[in-house]
Amino acid sequence: MTLRLNKIKLDIYLILIFILILVVFKKPEFAPFIIIPILLISYYKILIQRDITTVIILMLSSRLIMGPFNPGSNLTFNILNLICNYVPALIIVIYSYLGITKFDFNRLKSLKWTVVYIIFLLGFGFMLPRYTKVVIAPEIIPLILFFLLVFIKAEQKIEYEYLLKFFRYTFIACIIIYLSPLFAHEMKYLFAEGLIFKEELPFISLFVKRIIPRNTGFVFDFRIMGQLGSLYLLLLYYLGKKNNYIDLFLLVTITIMTFSRGPIMIMLLLLLGVYAPQKIKVTKKGMNISFVLFVLLISLSIYLFNNKGDVIKKYVATYNPFSENSAISQRGGFITYSMDYFYKNPLGNGLGFMSSNDAGHEIFTGYTRHNGRIIFTNYYYKVTDAYLAMSLAEKGIIGFVLFVLSLVEIFYSNKNRVSLFFLIGLILNLIGTDIPKQGFYYFTLILIYYSLSQNKDLSANLPKIST
Q: How far apart are CA 260 and CA 227, in angstroms?
A: 9
What's the confidence (pLDDT) of residue 96?
81
What's the whole-number mean pLDDT along residues 431-448?
A: 91
What's the confidence (pLDDT) of residue 286?
59
Neighbours of 33 (CB within 10 A): 11
Give the residue with greater pLDDT, 358 vs 38.
38
| Range of lowest pLDDT (5-19, 252-266, 386-400) | 5-19
Q: What are phi and psi of 425, to 5 degrees?
A: -60, -40
Strand pairing partners for 366? 378
What's the confidence (pLDDT) of residue 106?
74
Q: What is the pLDDT of residues 279-329, one digit of tens each?
A: 545 566 655 666 666 566 656 555 555 555 565 555 555 555 545 555 565
In the chain, % of residues over pLDDT 70: 82
Give the alpha-carbon dihedral of 352, 350, 147, 94, to 10 degrees. Answer: -70
In the chain, % of residues over pLDDT 90: 59
Q: Grade residue 2 by pLDDT with cuts at 50, 70 and 90.
A: low
Q: Grade residue 389 by pLDDT with cuts at 50, 70 and 90.
A: very high
Q: How far apart are CA 242 and CA 244, in angstroms?
A: 6
| Per-domain boundaries in the chain | 104-156+331-467
Nearest CA among 423, 354, 439, 436 for reference residue 393: 354
Give the residue with greater pLDDT, 235 vs 204.
235
Residue 197 clears pLDDT 60, i.e. is over it: yes
Q: What is the pLDDT of residues 148-175, one digit of tens each?
A: 999 888 898 999 999 999 999 999 999 9
Based on C-alpha coordinates, what's the Rg of the chain?
22
What's the whole-number mean pLDDT along residues 451-463?
A: 76
Q: What is the pLDDT of residues 409-434, one digit of tens each?
A: 999 887 788 999 999 999 988 988 88
Q: Name, of 235-244, 291-300, 381-390, 429-438, the range with top average pLDDT.
A: 235-244
What's the confidence (pLDDT) of residue 330?
58
Residue 113 clears pLDDT 90, i.e. is over it: yes
| Range of lowest pLDDT (33-37, 56-60, 370-374) | 370-374
What's the confidence (pLDDT) of residue 189?
94
Give the residue with greater pLDDT, 101 vs 450.
450
What's the whole-number mean pLDDT along residues 327-353?
A: 85
Amino acid at 180: S
Is the full-model pTM beyond 0.85?
A: yes
What Å distances lie between residue 296 and 149, 172, 195, 440, CA to CA? Answer: 44, 20, 37, 37
The three state secondary structure string of the chain is CEEEECCEEEEHHHHHHHHHHHHHHHCHHHHHHHHHHHHHHHHHHHHCCCCHHHHHHHHHCHHHCCCCCCCCCHHHHHHHHHHHHHHHHHHHHHHHHHCCCCCCCCHHHHCHHHHHHHHHHHHHHHHCCCCCHHHHHHHHHHHHHHHHHHHCCHHHHCCHHHHHHHHHHHHHHHHHHHHCCCHHHHHHHHHHCCCCCCCCCCCCCCEECCCEECCCHHHCCHHHHHHHHHHHHHHHHHCCCCCCHHHHHHHHHHHHHHCCHHHHHHHHHHHHHHHCCCCCCCCHHHHHHHHHHHHHHHHHHHHHHHHHHHHHHHHHHCCCCCCCCCHHHHCHHHHHHHHHHHHHCCCCCCCCCCCCCCCCCCEEEEEEEECCEEEEEEEECCCCCCHHHHHHHHHHHHHHHHHHHHHHHHHCCCCCHHHHHHHHHHHHHHHHCCHHHCCHHHHHHHHHHHHHHHCHHHHHCCCCCCC
332, 308 contact by CB (below 8 A):
no
Nearest CA among 133, 175, 228 for reference residue 448: 228
